[in-house]
Amino acid sequence: MGWLEGQVALVTGGASGLGRAIVERFLAEGARVAILDRAHDAIERLQEDLRGQRDRLLTFEGDVTNFEDNHRAVAVTAREWGKLDCFVGNAGIWDFSTSLAALPADGAKLGAAFDEVFGVNVKGCLFGARAAMTALARSRGNIIFTVSNAGFYPDGGGPLYTASKHAVVGLVRQLAYELAPKVRVNGVAPGPIPTDLRGPQALGMGERSIASLPLEEFVRRAMPLGRVPAAADYTGAYVLLASAGNSGTTTGAVINCDGGMGVRGFMRTAGGEKL
């Protein structure tokens, strides 16, 4: 029996990348899983690949920055399966480490980039939590937000992305306080993942994927564990936090599973050897 046997979860951005890995792991742990994603083609691929589990999978095509899309996904999931135990706010976009100096020196363009990054990364979490809170309170359920190493440390993105992920940490703590004792709220902060994570359209990065970057080089420089994790490597933290039987006393916490980036310090000498 899995850790999430009989549970019902809703995962945003669940059709690809880390979100899909979470969906697959939750299914393997015995949960029924709904996804909300705006990528039509990715949803179709997921449905085809998981066609043997269609009785435990619901899919909704929609935008996390639209409250009605969040509300519809929650309402239909709760109606179809009788409850909702876990909401995973995972949908996100990255700014490809665009520095302040490289951002547009134009208020309208810069504002559009800000609104897009914060819209998906922060408003999407807020909208999803607001849509799900009543159903979660009924089930004594939980919320999990995907944070990032950039929610704690610099150089995991540019100022837009880093600020947005710091804001998600703030949401974890504030909502954990407000929704206790009925709903636990936590986060998971992964490190780099070679997925199809895209950038903001406002910066011309809507078709650019993080998987196109030389992540191996970054990992050798920045991560003490020294390897590029697969998306599935991060899913255990989500399972732990979703399981009331294994993390029932945990709320307002963020699990850092970033390969040790927060403790890297001065890893190597000028000659390249470890101290």
pLDDT of residue 270: 42
pLDDT of residue 269: 39
Assess whether 161 carries a catalytic annotation.
Answer: yes
| Number of neighbours of residue 123 by Cβ within 10 angstroms | 17
Distance between CA 228 and CA 219 in Å, rounded? 6
| Catalytic annotation, pick one of 153, 161, 177, 234 | 161
Q: What is the pTM of this model?
A: 0.93
For the chain, 275 residues long, the average pLDDT of each consecutive 10-residue run is: 96 96 98 97 96 96 98 98 98 93 95 97 98 98 97 92 98 98 98 81 79 69 79 97 97 94 60 45
Tokens of 43: 């949803």
- For 64-95, b/e burial (b = at least 16 CB within 10 A) is bbbeebbbebbeebbeebebbbbbbbbbbbbb
pLDDT of residue 211: 65
| Number of neighbours of residue 167 by Cβ within 10 angstroms | 18
Asked if 157 and 95 count as a contact pair (C-beta separation under 8 A), the reply is yes
